A = this chain, B = another copy of it.
Amino acid sequence: MTFDKSPDGRGRGYHHGNLREALIETALRLIAERGPSGFAFVELARAAGVSPAAPYRHFADRGALLAEVARRGFERFTEALETAWNGGRPDPVTALEACGRAYLAFARREPASYAVMFETGIPLEDDPALRAASERAFAVLRRASEALCATMTQNRPPALMVALHIWSLAHGIASLFIGHGESGRRRLPMTPEDLLEAGVLIYLQSLGLGAARATP
């Protein structure tokens, strides 16, 4: 692998030198602008100043590029959740709420990735790396729920179920009220963040965790 060109793709010779990354970056930009099916494979090639056949040296087909975009998305998503969880500090309830905010923040900051990860019917069963990345993301929420349930002494609910509830609520809110260029989505009398925080609070209160916060 050789990088014989400036990072913006101009002034190259016969070989691009960074085509794979350039294609992914352009795809992310176009998807963010025009939705998950709003880019043409050939268009990425044009933007990189390369022939329509060149991308096929780096991706088996259009779907493979999408899968790679989704995989990278899941990895950054996992990082964001992990950072927000922060080992359960200062206390599990506060940390879980931080995860919720991180979830929505990701959908806002990387609408293109989020759309490809969740709103495309991307085949995640025949791409082991993609499936694994997706499971690592959910594992963060599951571990968080386990830590949270472990603090309870009675009427302990299944941690997996709690994780699925939080995930579903966060995903539902993100999917209904965030993304698609700020225009195509329904309006809310509150921010999605506040909506999610209130929902999680109500939910956890029912589990007896309403006051299980660190009070420094």
Contact = CB atoms under 8 A, between A and B. Distances in A.
A124 interface: yes
A167 B176 contact: yes
A55 interface: no
* Interface of A (DSSP majority class): helix
Given A169-B172, A176-B171, A206-B205, A195 B121 contact: no
Contact of A123 (B119, B171, B184, B203): B184
A125 B188 contact: no
Contacts of A167: 172, 176
B184 A168 contact: no
A119 to B, nearest CB: 6
Interface residues of A, number: 42
Contact of A206 (B123, B165, B169, B206): B206
A199 B119 contact: no
A203 B36 CA distance: 34
Interface of A: 35-37, 115, 118-119, 121-125, 134, 138, 157, 160-161, 164-165, 167-173, 175-176, 180, 183-184, 186, 188-190, 195, 198-199, 202-203, 205-207
In the complex, the count of this chain's copies comes to 2
21 contacts: A115-B121, A123-B184, A125-B184, A138-B186, A160-B189, A161-B195, A161-B198, A165-B202, A167-B172, A168-B172, A168-B176, A168-B199, A169-B169, A169-B172, A169-B199, A171-B172, A172-B172, A172-B175, A203-B203, A205-B206, A206-B206
Given A121-B184, A175-B175, A168 B169 contact: yes
